[in-house]
């Protein structure tokens, strides 16, 4: 997340940063991990990619003191063309810290949070067309059921989707809180975990086509690594972690360095409770 770079010591250890190397922070956000990497070793080149133009503007400003930091507004799924444009053939290490940043979720107008009133947006890259509002108000019954069951891991989503379709016939959903209030009422929520959590996660994954994008990004990352180069991936969601696990295991070019995912230690959990769901997996290219 933006304010606290998750598992920073492990990231630095596993990236195995060497003097003179070229590294990529493929999801640099507001620069938490990038700053740690740049401070660890001055004599490297670090490319910082992010799909979110606000993050790139902010990190460019924040890390302007590091002439060896190269911020680039791009998705990691286009890593091959980014590196080609920069005249770089291979790199020594790549970090992917998946999902959204705390800056994004705290900014109501981005529409990621069900607790803050904002438009139903959820795009990392605001040049892309599909928004959460488009999905909620336009997608057909079967596509919505599939989305919520598969990516929200919600059981028996069909009845909920029927109610949602009835509601949107009367009045379209415009804001995050309209949608989360509707979900709360439908599930008669009294418990600990807010029922909108999983719906919002599924919507975010669909808006940003995250499953396909992560798969593409992992492939491009492995292609870009030199022999002995490391790929460090942090995920916050079981679907993402499963993709990373299977990708690492099924790739003959890779040695997996983490038999089990690395998780945050006690001290970090106290300082940053959001790190509790973070899982880090690391591989090295043969």
Q: What residue ranges bind ligand SAM (CB under 6 A)?
A: 1-2, 5, 26-33, 49-52, 55, 75-77, 97, 99-101, 124, 213
- 110 Cβ neighbours under 8 A, 6+ residues apart: 104, 118, 121, 122
Nearest-CB residue to ligand SAM? Answer: 32
Q: Which is nearer to ligand SAM, 89 or 209 (CB)?
A: 209
Q: What angle do CA 21, 74, 1 make, to 5 degrees?
A: 80
Q: Which is nearer to ligand SAM, 5 or 133 (CB)?
A: 5
CB of 140 to ligand SAM, least distance (A): 26
Q: Which is nearer to ligand SAM, 35 or 183 (CB)?
A: 35
Q: Which is nearer to ligand SAM, 54 or 149 (CB)?
A: 54
CB of 137 to ligand SAM, least distance (A): 24
State the pairing for strand pair 22-25/45-50. parallel
Is-contact 54 62, C-beta < 8 A? Answer: no
Q: Which is nearer to ligand SAM, 39 or 172 (CB)?
A: 39
| CA atoms lying within 13 Å on the CB side of residue 251 | 23
Q: Which is nearer to ligand SAM, 24 or 183 (CB)?
A: 24
CB of 106 to ligand SAM, least distance (A): 12
Is-contact 279 254, C-beta < 8 A? Answer: no
CB of 168 to ligand SAM, least distance (A): 28
CB of 85 to ligand SAM, least distance (A): 16
d(CA 151, CA 149): 6
CB of 55 to ligand SAM, least distance (A): 5
Is-contact 74 85, C-beta < 8 A? Answer: no
What DSSP line would sit under 151-172, residue for residue?
Answer: HS--TTHHHHHHHHHHHHHHS-
Neighbouring-strand partners of residue 91: 225
* Sign of the torsion formed by the C-alpha atoms of 110, 69, 49 and 8: negative
């Amino acid at each position: 997340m933006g304010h606290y770079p998750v598992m920073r010591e492990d990231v630095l250890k596993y990236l195995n940063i060497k003097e003179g190397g070229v590294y990529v922070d493929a999801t640099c956000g507001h620069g938490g991990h990038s700053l740690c990497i740049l401070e660890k070793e001055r004599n490297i080149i670090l490319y910082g990619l992010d799909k979110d133009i606000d993050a790139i503007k902010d990190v460019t400003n924040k890390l302007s003191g590091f002439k060896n930091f190269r911020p680039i507004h791009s998705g990691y799924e286009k890593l091959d063309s980014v590196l080609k444009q920069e005249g770089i053939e291979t790199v020594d290490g790549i970090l992917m810290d998946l999902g959204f940043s705390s800056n994004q979720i705290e900014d109501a107008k981005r529409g990621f949070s069900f607790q803050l009133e904002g438009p139903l947006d959820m795009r990392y890259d605001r040049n892309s067309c599909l928004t959460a509002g488009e999905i909620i108000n336009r997608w057909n019954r079967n596509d919505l059921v599939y989305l919520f069951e598969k990516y929200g891991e919600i059981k028996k989503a069909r009845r909920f989707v029927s109610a949602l379709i009835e509601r949107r016939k009367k009045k379209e959903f415009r804001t995050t809180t309209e949608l989360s209030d509707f979900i709360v009422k439908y599930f008669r929520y009294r418990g600990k975990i807010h029922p909108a959590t999983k719906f919002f996660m599924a919507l975010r994954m669909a808006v940003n086509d995250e499953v396909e994008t992560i798969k593409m990004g992992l492939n491009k990352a492995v292609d870009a690594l030199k022999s002995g180069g490391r790929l460090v991936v942090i995920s916050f969601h079981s679907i993402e972690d499963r993709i990373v696990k299977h990708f690492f295991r099924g790739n003959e070019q890779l040695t997996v360095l983490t038999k089990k995912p690395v998780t945050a230690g006690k001290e970090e959990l106290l300082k940053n409770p959001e790190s509790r769901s973070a899982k880090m997996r690391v591989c090295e290219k043969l």
